[in-house]
Structure 1
Amino acid sequence: MNGISSKVKVEFYEDSLLPKRQLKLQSAELTNQGRVLVVINDEKLQFPGEYLLRFCECAKCFSSACLSHIRSLSDLYKADLSLKSVTMSEDGKYIEYVATNDHSGRFTAEWLYNRRMTQQGWEERNAAVFLHKPCSWPVADKMHVEKATYSEVTETEMGMQKFINNLIKDGLFIITGTPDRRVADEFGEKTGLAPIMNHYGPNWIVENVPVPTNHAYSSYALDLHIDQAFLMHCPNIQLLHCMTQSEVGGESIMSDGIRAANLLKERHPEYFHILTTLEINQKDVISHYNQQQYYVANRSPTIVLNKDGDPVKFMFNSVAQSSFFSGSPEQYEEYERATKAFVGLLNECSITFRNEPGDIMVFDNERVLHGRASYDKRYERKLEGWYLSWDMMHSRLRVSNIKTAQN
């Protein structure tokens, strides 16, 4: 896969994700309501005077070094300012305002149009900036997991975009051809996607040990689950780098929580209601090999909905679930019936495959539940694991999109 090197640096700012246009101001006036009315390319647009004062682009109000508006809101509100006048440049490239304290500033036609307060305007901005649009998996036997090589992802923008876009869409991606060594820190240095620290460290090794402090550090099968549901802010993205694979067993089992939850809502709406409203305790009471002791706890519904009522996050881990139940015996019986139905659907929606040495399985830890088949402990199975955040992943994709557009 050829493409722009990830090492290429470009100048960019907040507007860089938006389309480039030929724009010209045709008129500008200050209304009796204190708004600025402009016409740009025959389109009438209005901006509150308070908005233009708040986001003034002059050197006193805006720092070009940190690309941020630095004017004190306390000072701005204390002065109780409003606009006194607005004029347009003769060439139609910008407007200039004067405030009641004689402070002045200017805004280009591009700046104003990119911030137009219309439905078309905010939909265009949101589509360019907010990139998280997951898609439910198809039926299991039609699910295809996208792949790219380690060098493509870490060294080219096309590889990076393929990686992140498919991870957003499917919640699952495989990076192949990874060097035969621990690469978590190297991956972070190459991509800008640094491992997230928690009480298991910035990265860790998953392998069978004589006295495991976590059930994953054994050769037993693991039920479908998310990692660290006991944290208030559980890890967004998990990477598991297969360094050594058992000759017998150890296959990965993955399931799309979104598809399973939507099927639960369709087939058993009463169970869906229980799992989206009843809070369940999760905990990690652990003493690591370094003797540090931890008691981490969280409460959350099993299925978390967004503001539109769609399932987006799954706080489900039977090994980490606490026996402290906040409800009545009847509620617990209902919860078990609902959970049994949900687990059945997770298994129905699951796919099973075998990671080979050099594969990094990357998945949305809050959406795609993962499990493992048991393996013969006579054979070594060794994985390197670490977590990433969606914030940095989205940031990396925005920068990549800007680099691609400018080159």
Structure 2
Amino acid sequence: MFALKRIINSELLSTAVTKCKSSVTKVQRIHSVDVLAKKTGNEIVSLDIHGERLKFPAVWLRDNCQCAQCYHPSARSRTIDWATFNLQVRTTRVTTTDHSVHIAWSDGHRSEFKKNWLKIRSFIPEHQKKYTDTVYKPPKVTWHGDEFPNVFTKHDYNELLTSDKALHDFLHQLSVHGVALVENAPDSELALTNFISKVGFPKQTHYGIQFVVKHVPNTSNVAYLSSNLQVHTDLPYYEYCPGVNMLHCLVQTESNGGENVLSDGHYVAHYMKKNYPEQYRLLTEVEVEWKDVGVEFGNEFFKLHRSPIICLDKHGEISRINFSIPQRGSNFIGKIEDVNPWYEAHTLFMELNLKFSAKFRTKPGNILAFDNIRLLHGRNAYEDSPNNVRQIFGQYIDWDEIYSRLRCLKVKLDKDDSLI
């Protein structure tokens, strides 16, 4: 078999040399394929790309052909007809220039790939991790309350509206640390709307597109009271929970109080996993029924969603934190023997969040942005007066929109459309 491979490679090289003698273009290099894999139906194409030997499955290359017949350039979408796609298609010739790879296929089709495009999609684990961290989603960095001053970055409102670099940096900081502050926002009910429109569009809930946080005695939401607001995440009763909360301070209280309390739920969860593994397990496995019932703008609602306090993805990583004492339903979905241990774990989670929390008081013109499915937030009690009524305007935006804008800005700033 190895002799056969040497003969085939020798013949391919001989053919390439002959063609190069009659060509005015640069010499093309013939790249090897795994002959044994080709015979067994799992062909691998090995390519030298910018000094690295990279391997790509032939079926993946054919599926991702970038020609006009297989791919729509403006829609950035595959148009290959899968009903006629041949999983057994094979390469007949693979050549490269300095910047591109050319492949001839056994079905007569021809493909061309840019080397940079291929390298970004390399199957080497280190390359895949780099793509994940720089294009897919920046890795989160958790923090203790003592570290809050170092991670709480501040950004100018007008600069965010006019500079792609400034907006990219703000969104990146928000995604990594889960919190960021916008300063110098105008004293206008439209300031938050105008800012969010630079990122994407707001998420509407039964509280509207924009909600006003101020003291309302006969309210359908305890957040609209001036009494102490316990740490929580907003709207855990939504299956598609708003990803980011943005709160624009128009009027801050002149009384003592009104101070925000913020804690990194991911930091607390990791701490519990290490130091209180059984309580951590209960908070990741026992489902809670989250509930909100009321009337807003004449619209009745009865929202229910079941999800643990700490949600994990298929990799065992934290994907979402749910926590709200007022909006935790009364139906316990777990086993009766789990009730007391779960309550103990629930209490420990809240105590640790308070222990590791940071406190910050917004000023008029501040927009406090934070990850609503990661951070717990609360507020100290305050008192209004006839001449001073605390007023905060809020809107939500989904992480899908933030990550989308972050990627668009990266492509634009890096001037690299091979990321797409």
Q: TM-score normalised to the size of structure 1?
A: 0.86
Contact 1:35–1:46 (8 Å) recurs in 2: yes
* Structure ID, larger Rg: 2
Other structure's SS at 1:59 match: coil
The change in CA–CA distance for 1:390 and 1:37 in structure 2 (over 3 A counts) is same
Aligned equivalent of 2:146, options 137, 140, 144? 140
**Residue in 1 that maps onto 2:331:** 324
Aligned equivalent of 1:45, options 33, 51, 54? 54
Equivalent residues in 2 for 1:278-297, closer than 5 Å: 278-288=286-296, 290-297=297-304
Instruction: Give the Cα–Cα distance (whole angstroms) in 2 for the partners of residues 382 and 303 of structure 1.
Output: 32
Deviations for 1:340-366, whole angstroms, at most 9, x for unmatched residues? 211111110111221111110000001
Aligned equivalent of 1:55, options 57, 64, 67? 64
The structure in which a higher percent of residues are helix is 2
- Alignment size in residue pairs: 380
Q: What residue identity is the alignment partner of 2:133?
A: A
**Residue in 2 that maps onto 1:351:** 358
**Residue in 2 that maps onto 1:401:** 410
Contact 1:254–1:350 (8 Å) recurs in 2: yes
**Residue in 1 that maps onto 2:193:** 185
* 1:266 corresponds to 2:274: yes
Instruction: Give the Cα–Cα distance (whole angstroms) in 1 for the partners of residues 28 and 240 of structure 2.
Output: 47
Contact 2:92–2:104 (8 Å) recurs in 1: yes
Aligned equivalent of 1:28, options 27, 31, 35? 31
Contact 2:144–2:357 (8 Å) recurs in 1: no
The change in CA–CA distance for 1:405 and 1:47 in structure 2 (over 3 A counts) is closer
**Residue in 1 that maps onto 2:90:** 83
Residue 338 of structure 1 deviates from its aligned partner by 1.3
**Residue in 2 that maps onto 1:230:** 237
> Runs of 5+ in structure 1 lacking a partner?
1-23
* 1:335 corresponds to 2:338: no
Contact 1:26–1:42 (8 Å) recurs in 2: no
Q: CA RMSD in A?
A: 2.4
Q: After alignment, is 299-308 or 179-188 more displaced?
A: 299-308
Percent identical among aligned pairs is 28
Contact 1:219–1:375 (8 Å) recurs in 2: yes
Contact 1:258–1:312 (8 Å) recurs in 2: no
**Residue in 2 that maps onto 1:127:** 133
Instruction: Give the Cα–Cα distance (whole angstroms) in 1 for the partners of residues 267 and 308 of structure 2.
Output: 17
Aligned equivalent of 1:253, options 241, 253, 261? 261
The change in CA–CA distance for 1:93 and 1:152 in structure 2 (over 3 A counts) is closer
Deviations for 1:211-255, whole angstroms, at most 9, x for unmatched residues? 211111121211000000001121110000011111112111111
* 1:107 corresponds to 2:113: yes
Instruction: Give the Cα–Cα distance (whole angstroms) in 1 for the partners of residues 408 and 214 of structure 2.
Output: 36
Instruction: Give the Cα–Cα distance (whole angstroms) in 1 for the partners of residues 194 and 223 of structure 2.
Output: 24
> Runs of 5+ in structure 2 lacking a partner?
1-26
The change in CA–CA distance for 1:35 and 1:264 in structure 2 (over 3 A counts) is closer
The change in CA–CA distance for 1:401 and 1:268 in structure 2 (over 3 A counts) is same
Other structure's SS at 2:112 match: strand
Deviations for 1:344-390, whole angstroms, at most 9, x for unmatched residues? 11110111221111110000001110001111133411111111122
Instruction: Give the Cα–Cα distance (whole angstroms) in 1 for the partners of residues 77 and 53 of structure 2.
Output: 28
Q: What residue identity is the alignment partner of 1:106?
A: E
Residue 263 of structure 1 deviates from its aligned partner by 2.7
Deviations for 1:311-355, whole angstroms, at most 9, x for unmatched residues? 452111111110111234432221221112111111101112211
Q: What residue identity is the alignment partner of 1:283?
A: K
Instruction: Give the Cα–Cα distance (whole angstroms) in 1 for the partners of residues 270 and 34 of structure 2.
Output: 50
The change in CA–CA distance for 1:40 and 1:403 in structure 2 (over 3 A counts) is closer
The change in CA–CA distance for 1:222 and 1:36 in structure 2 (over 3 A counts) is same
Residue 286 of structure 1 deviates from its aligned partner by 1.5
**Residue in 1 that maps onto 2:284:** 276
Other structure's SS at 1:324 match: strand
Contact 1:25–1:39 (8 Å) recurs in 2: no
Instruction: Give the Cα–Cα distance (whole angstroms) in 2 for the partners of residues 141 and 97 of structure 1.
Output: 53
Instruction: Give the Cα–Cα distance (whole angstroms) in 2 for the partners of residues 35 and 297 of structure 1.
Output: 50
Q: What residue identity is the alignment partner of 2:223?
A: A
Contact 2:212–2:393 (8 Å) recurs in 1: yes
Q: TM-score normalised to the size of structure 2?
A: 0.84
